[in-house]
Amino acid sequence: MSLYLLGGLLLLLSSFSFLFMGFYFLSLDYILFLDWEFLTVNSCSLTMTFLFDWMSLLFTGFVFMISSMVVYYSESYMTNDQDSVRFYFLVLLFIISMMMMIVSPNLISILIGWDGLGLVSYCLVIYFQNFKSYCAGMLTILTNRIGDVAILISIAWMLNFGSWHYIFYMGLWDSWNFYLVLLIILAGFTKSAQIPFSSWLPAAMAAPTPVSSLVHSSTLVTAGVYLLIRFSSLLNNIDCSFFILLSMLTMFMAGLGANFEFDLKKVIALSTLSQLGLMMSILFMGFPDLAFFHLLTHAFFKALLFLCAGLMIHCMNDSQDIRHMGLLINQLPFTCTCFCISSLSLCGLPFMSGFYSKDVILEMMSMTYYSVFVFFIFFISVGLTVSYSTRLIYYILSQSKNNYVSVNLVEDNIMMKSMLLLSVLAVLGGSLLSWSLFKNPSMIILPFLLKIQPILFVLLGGWIGYELCFTGLFMNLYTLGGYFVSFFFGSMWFMPYFSTICSYTGILSLSRVFNELMDNGWGEYGVSKSFLMYGSFMSKLYLFYQVNNISIFMGVFVFIFMITLI
pLDDT at 66: 92
Read out DSSP for 270-322?
HHHHHHHHHHHHHHHTT-HHHHHHHHHHHHHHHHHHHHHHHHHHHHTTT--BG
Mean pLDDT over 167-196 rounds to: 86
pLDDT at 481: 59
Angle at 271 between CA 266 and CA 272, to 5 degrees: 100
Nearest 5°: phi and psi at 477? Answer: -85, 120
**Contacting residues for 69 by C-beta, under 8 A, at least 6 apart:** 8, 12, 303, 307, 418, 419, 421, 422
Nearest residue to 455 via CA among 387, 391, 382: 382
Mean pLDDT over 330-338 rounds to: 88
**Distance between CA atoms of 14 and 5, rounded to whole angstroms?**
14
**Distance between CA atoms of 505 and 237, rounded to whole angstroms?**
40
**Distance between CA atoms of 286 and 294, rounded to whole angstroms?**
14
Q: Residue 47 forms beta bridges with which residues? A: 37
- Give the pLDDT band (50/70/90) at residue 9: very high
pLDDT at 404: 66
Output the pTM of the full model: 0.86
Q: Kindly report the average pLDDT of the chain as a whole number.
A: 86
**Distance between CA atoms of 325 and 151, rounded to whole angstroms?**
44
More confident residue, 382 or 218: 382
**Distance between CA atoms of 439 and 214, rounded to whole angstroms?**
30
Cα 8 to Cα 117, 122, 307, 422, 496: the distances in Å are 20, 23, 15, 14, 36
pLDDT at 130: 87
Question: For residues 274 and 251, is the Cβ–Cβ distance under 8 A?
Answer: yes
**Distance between CA atoms of 87 and 245, rounded to whole angstroms?**
39
pLDDT at 410: 79
Given a cut of 70, whether residue 471 has pLDDT beyond it is no
Pseudo-torsion of CA 222, 223, 225, 230, nearest 10°? Answer: 140
Q: 2: which DSSP letter?
A: -
Question: For residues 274 and 312, is the Cβ–Cβ distance under 8 A?
Answer: no
- Give the pLDDT band (50/70/90) at residue 402: low
Question: For residues 356 and 428, is the Cβ–Cβ distance under 8 A?
Answer: no
**Distance between CA atoms of 460 and 454, rounded to whole angstroms?**
10
407-460, pLDDT tens digit by residue? 777 788 888 888 998 999 999 988 999 888 888 877 888 888 888 888 899 899
**Contacting residues for 3 by C-beta, under 8 A, at least 6 apart:** 85, 88
Nearest residue to 344 via CA among 416, 427, 272: 427
Angle at 526 between CA 523 and CA 527, to 5 degrees: 70
Quick one: CA dihedral 79, 80, 82, 83, positive or negative? Answer: negative
Question: For residues 296 and 18, is the Cβ–Cβ distance under 8 A?
Answer: no
Q: Residue 39 forms beta bridges with which residues? A: 46
Given a cut of 60, whether residue 473 has pLDDT beyond it is no
Nearest residue to 345 via CA among 442, 404, 275: 275
**Distance between CA atoms of 223 and 192, rounded to whole angstroms?**
7
Question: For residues 104 and 155, is the Cβ–Cβ distance under 8 A?
Answer: no
pLDDT at 93: 92
The stretches of 438-547 forming alpha helices (DSSP H) are 448-468, 478-481, 483-490, 495-499, 501-514, 522-523, 530-547
Most confident among 294-298, 528-532, 557-561 (mean pLDDT): 294-298
- Give the pLDDT band (50/70/90) at residue 297: very high
Question: For residues 369 and 363, is the Cβ–Cβ distance under 8 A?
Answer: no
| CB burial readout 232-267, b (16+ within 10 A) else e | bebbeebebeebbbbbbbbbbbbbbbbbbbeebbbb
